[in-house]
Amino acid sequence: MQTLTQRLANPTRFMELSARLLPWISAGAVVLLAYGLYLAFFASPADYQQGETVRIMYIHVPCAWLSMMVYALIALSSFGLLVFRHPLADVSAKAAAPLGAAFTFLALLTGSLWGKPMWGTYWVWDARLTSVLILFFLYLGLIALRSALEDESAASKLTAILALVGVTILPIIKFSVDWWNTLHQPSTDFTSTVDPSMRLPLLVMAIAFTLLFFAMHLKAMRNEILRRRVKALRTQAVAGRDRLAAHGAE
């Protein structure tokens, strides 16, 4: 009994802290998102080349940024789980994976929507889009592996191992995709310089999306901790009944 509370001690402190932080982060995300959207859609000029479609960038770039940041966060959490056996690290990794996959998907979707007027087609095998696509596959692998294993503690550790393997291979994948891209379609550079008038809305949107992610991540972590508590209580209840039955039989 006592050991169970000991194990939950850390998450308990986290629950208190996150309950206090969550409203502030959520409010910050909402305010910045509103301001960022205003800047992106009303207070910034259309691009002289891309026209109004440039505004997709204000969604696309923050999503692409988050797709990488969240994978790094998962890798860091996985390291924390495997090396320090920190119980919160696994909760963090588990909560972050679907969010990361969602932002990666949004990055692909907005990239494709932006590509239609720019390239005349929804999908171009551009080096960066291809890398993001493979990153999306890595997220799917993490989610699928975790859901395929019944033993939760084993699932946590195995998923953590996969995340660390992924983060080790990711630079090699990025490098190989860049190499492949220059090999097949040399010198198509879409990375035009960012106009100063775009910088502020981009920055605001990037911060707003990051706050949005952390708000959702904290909320998902809280849900996961509550789910685990319910599960632990249920297991105890079952074990308790078993014990009563055993005593009754003797």
Binding site for other proteins (CB under 8 A): 1, 3, 82, 134, 137-138, 140-141, 144-145, 148-149, 151, 154, 157-158, 161-162, 164-166, 168-169, 172-173, 175-177, 179-180, 183, 231-232, 235-236, 239-240, 243, 247
* Residue 120 main-chain phi, psi, to 5 deg: 80, 5
**Any idea what the Cα angle at residue 167 is, between residues 165 and 168, rounded to 5°?**
65
DSSP for 136-180, please give it.
Answer: HHHHHHHHHHHHH-SSHHHHHHHHHHHHHHHHHHHHHHHHHHHHH
The smaller minimum CB distance to other proteins, of residues 121 and 172, is found at 172
Smallest gap from Cβ 217 to other proteins, in A, equals 24
Report in angstroms how near the CB of residue 247 gets to other proteins at its nearest. Answer: 7
- Written as one string, the DSSP assignment of 45-95 is PPBTTTBGGGGGHHHHHHHHHHHHHHHHHHHHHHHHHHHH--HHHHHHHHH
Backbone torsion region of residue 194, taken as left when φ is above 0, otherwise alpha when ψ lies between -120 and 50, otherwise beta: beta
Distance CA 83, CA 98 (A): 23
- The distance of closest approach from Cβ of residue 250 to other proteins in the complex, given in angstroms and rounded to an integer, is 9
Tell me the two tokens of residue 243: 């014990």
Classify the phi-psi angles of 178: left when phi > 0, otherwise alpha if psi is within -120 to 50, otherwise beta.
Answer: alpha
Find the shortest distance in angstroms from Cβ 164 to other proteins.
Answer: 7
Query: Kind and range of the H or E element at 19?
Result: helix 2-41
Least spacing, CB of residue 94 vs other proteins, in Å = 16
CB of 237 to other proteins, least distance (A): 11
Min. distance of Cβ 58 from other proteins in angstroms? 29
Nearer to other proteins, 51 or 240 (CB): 240
Do the beta carbons of residue 210 and residue 100 sit within 8 Å? no
